[in-house]
Structure 1
């Protein structure tokens, strides 16, 4: 089954430092790297490395970063036929500060990612209609995302929406979402409440179910993930690992979830597998460079079962 990822492609500019600077403060960093990224690209690569057939829909600039991102996607055996090269926008970039604890602070300049609009998606109806699942995030044009979700819903194609970066979403969009995958902060923003515990996450999820989402899966970092739907709630524990950086942790989770669901796995098992993929991703630096291949995940799960 083909996974269609509609989303962002960015070049990540990653600075490593012991701690993030305060306002007006200058610090020395320990390292700098350019790394292919963007939530859409990360999720597409995550799924492809786990053995899925993946089509990426997005937009880059007609510049060096855009050419590099296209080449990376092709090397990962992702169908790039529907990635547009814009003549009017530069490729999106993300400025990422990673501190000594592996936590990250990110500023995204979307550039060409915002150039993909409703009219572009309308032309891709045949691609969406044949998808096994559609994966969306919020680093692109919101009306475009709304149109893509509505189109997929009309064809009976399940939709994963990773609501990052978080922003206000219409109930109409949420009613077209099969699987909503916020982290704790995003769940709180969408539900209009503070989320500081698993219990809070469940309460926020219930609010989102009332808005029309079918399944809410709140990612809880090292604590794993919480599934909430009309059948109840289930906490799927995470895997204890040494964190190097959390860049692309959520993206690896979403790519893995899409692979498992298109493969026919039950939701709880799919989330358990996605937790393992996320655990492996936080053990390496970078975005695309941190995403694991299927044999690594299978070995990790075998080792975890023996512990």
Structure 2
């Protein structure tokens, strides 16, 4: 079985009528587990009711929570979410929460040698303490571990320096079309979409660049090929977690050594299904993943 981790923010999505557990790295681990991988969330929560509910929820989803540290000083993170008329989420993050001071406990340290992939982003690096912790953890991983940088730009919690450093630490970059436009402006990328993606791929010696375009589909670009997908039609309830499910499907597909076209198709179908459900971590029917007997090494 492949072992993957998501390191960074664990938080509650506070929606108009309810709270649902989320955080991009945690969503990633949930969907990777649904696709058959052994998934490990690495984060920090507060010693409070939200933290307790988070552990109970993840355990019920059969995720290993031993790599989640508990802070007695800081509360469990949360984010207030507003949905527009198209179901697109807009986020507002409070400061000074547990994942801003991410701790790597003994359990998280002990799994480094067997990780096949790790996903991280920019949001959890908004605070110097967590930024240092995440970078130190990534540099201590085996050379063969896939390091997936999900750009995931939120509010103003990023900078050119943060992005450049993260690009040097990763082997796979995932971004959406708005984020590609931001990088094109920031780094002076020219040409069409594929040419801009290629500049990122070659300029940072990446294995793969993943671009999601909402209803416009997706592109997977490697040194060998560029595979486009037109997108999978769906009725959108909300977009929360859809990108994270797409990333998880790509990573599991790569570990399975599936063709990029099949990976793109599977990821598109899964993300479309997540958009049709409420929240980031709905139950995932097996038909949206890879054949379970193929997940074994």
How far has the Cα of 1:260 moved from its partner?
Answer: 2.0
- Check conservation: 2:174, 2:210, Cα contact below 8 A: yes
Aligned equivalents of 1:255, 1:213: Cα separation in 2: 18
Q: Verify: 1:57 aligned to 2:50, yes or no.
A: no
Aligned mate of 2:112, from 116, 128, 139: 128
Aligned equivalents of 1:123, 1:286: Cα separation in 2: 29
Aligned equivalents of 2:238, 2:193: Cα separation in 1: 23
- Check conservation: 1:191, 1:208, Cα contact below 8 A: no
Name the TM-score, length of structure 2 as normaliser.
Answer: 0.84
Match in the other structure for 1:20 = none
Match in the other structure for 1:253 = 246
- Check conservation: 2:249, 2:289, Cα contact below 8 A: no
Aligned equivalents of 1:251, 1:44: Cα separation in 2: 9
Aligned equivalents of 1:142, 1:184: Cα separation in 2: 25
Q: Verify: 1:95 aligned to 2:95, yes or no.
A: no
- Indicate the RMSD between aligned Cα atoms, in angstroms: 2.5
**Structure 1 pair 6–64 and aligned structure 2 pair: CA distance change class (3 A):** same
Gaps spanning 5+ residues in structure 1: where?
16-31, 300-307
Correspondence list, 1:214-253, <5 A: 214-253=207-246
SS of the aligned residue for 1:142 comes to helix
Match in the other structure for 2:127 = none
**Structure 1 pair 65–156 and aligned structure 2 pair: CA distance change class (3 A):** same
Aligned equivalents of 1:135, 1:35: Cα separation in 2: 21
How far has the Cα of 1:240 moved from its partner?
Answer: 1.2
Correspondence list, 1:1-307, <5 A: 1-15=2-16, 32-109=17-94, 111-117=97-103, 120=104, 124-140=108-124, 141-152=130-141, 154-165=142-153, 167=158, 168=160, 169-192=162-185, 200-209=192-201, 210-289=203-282, 292-297=284-289
Name the TM-score, length of structure 1 as normaliser.
Answer: 0.81
Aligned equivalents of 1:272, 1:126: Cα separation in 2: 35
Aligned equivalents of 2:167, 2:186: Cα separation in 1: 17
Give per-residue Cα distances to partners, 1:159-194, cap 9 Å, x unaligned: 111111263335443133121111112222233269
Aligned equivalents of 1:149, 1:215: Cα separation in 2: 18
How far has the Cα of 1:285 moved from its partner?
Answer: 1.4
**Structure 1 pair 203–75 and aligned structure 2 pair: CA distance change class (3 A):** same
How far has the Cα of 1:45 moved from its partner?
Answer: 1.1
Match in the other structure for 1:23 = none
**Structure 1 pair 112–160 and aligned structure 2 pair: CA distance change class (3 A):** same
- Check conservation: 1:129, 1:155, Cα contact below 8 A: no
